[in-house]
Structure 1
Amino acid sequence: MLGIKEIEAIIPHRHPFLLIDCVEELEPGVRAVGYKCVTFHEDFFRGHFPQEPVMPGVLIIEALAQVGAVSILSVEENKGKVAYFGGINSAKFRRKVVPGDRLRLECEIIKQKGPVGIGRATATVDGKVAVTAELTFMIG
């Protein structure tokens, strides 16, 4: 299991934009599974939405990308580099993510050619799919 310090050693994100709390499974360059414990105290809930707090879908996509980046940047030749977004395809938002949810974030690297690759990403809460997407990344 990777905690915050180990994650910060792999990806450049920091609070308040580090959106994963731990990585439970890691196969460098293949896949990673991490978690985000969503609390009422997240900054974005003040405005999204005050009467009905919902985690913005774009931040769930970002959390999925961060988990994918942990996997791809754990490969020896990618250590110290940054993974950038190249595209987001087929994103589907299937349920709300709200305070108290434990968001499971999984990203499997399904294709890579040189510095460009694609990850299949799924976010779930209690086994129910919240978001699916195909994420394109570029290693810089």
Structure 2
Amino acid sequence: MSMNIEEILEYLPHRYPFMLVDRVTEVEKSVSIKGYKNVSFNEPFFTGHFPDNPIMPGVLIIEAMAQLSGILGFVTVGRKPSDGVIQYLAGSDKARFKRPVRPGDRLELESELVSAKRGLWKFNCRALVDGDVVCVAEILTAEREV
């Protein structure tokens, strides 16, 4: 199963400029998900981070992995934000950044479901560019009614 941007918009409440998943390439319910974010020089954060050396902020790489993980959580339980629930980023552990992400990079995102208990989800995530790992982290999300 893959998802284009219109389908992703059904699973994420995020919108410009905070939508950080452009495409989902694979989803295996209750197991894992893969997708990507095309990093353009036109991203608003590059204006200040940093003007002469544009680098994608690490917190946005974490957020991109969390958004992808939230999609996996929704697919796993068969729900969407339109059902009155949302997946919030609840935490991040063991985050490590290996190299910068720059304009023109395709940020490949991967997330594996580790556990789900009482609305709390734990995922092992990684982000890659050209097959090289740029970030790894454990991501925690919390499902809540809105």
**Under TM normalisation by the shorter chain, which class is it?**
over 0.9
Q: With the length of structure 2 as denominator, give the TM-score of the two structures.
A: 0.92
Aligned ranges 1:41-120 → 2 under 5 Å: 41-80=42-81, 81-120=85-124
Deviation (angstroms), 1:114: 1.8
Asked whether the 8 Å contact 1:93–1:131 carries over to 2, the reply is yes
In the alignment, structure 1 segments of 5+ residues that lack a partner are: none
Letter in 2 for 1:43: P
Cα distance in 2, alignment partners of residues 26 and 101 from structure 1: 22
Cα distance in 2, alignment partners of residues 35 and 18 from structure 1: 11
Cα distance in 1, alignment partners of residues 69 and 44 from structure 2: 24
The superposition leaves residues 7-51 of structure 1 with CA deviations (integer Å, 9 ceiling, x where unpaired) of: 010111111100011000011232110101111110000000000
Deviation (angstroms), 1:78: 3.5
Which residue does 1:130 correspond to in 2? 134
Asked whether the 8 Å contact 1:28–1:73 carries over to 2, the reply is no
In the alignment, structure 2 segments of 5+ residues that lack a partner are: none
Asked whether the 8 Å contact 1:118–1:134 carries over to 2, the reply is yes
Asked whether the 8 Å contact 1:29–1:73 carries over to 2, the reply is no
Letter in 1 for 2:45: F
Secondary structure of the structure 2 residue equivalent to 1:123: strand
Cα distance in 2, alignment partners of residues 128 and 98 from structure 1: 13
Letter in 2 for 1:101: D
User: Structure 1 vs Structure 2: percent identity of aligned residues?
Assistant: 44
The superposition leaves residues 45-76 of structure 1 with CA deviations (integer Å, 9 ceiling, x where unpaired) of: 00000000000000000000011011111134
Which residue does 2:11 correspond to in 1? 10
Q: With the length of structure 1 as denominator, give the TM-score of the two structures.
A: 0.96
Cα distance in 2, alignment partners of residues 59 and 10 from structure 1: 19
Secondary structure of the structure 1 residue equivalent to 2:8: helix
Cα distance in 1, alignment partners of residues 90 and 63 from structure 2: 12
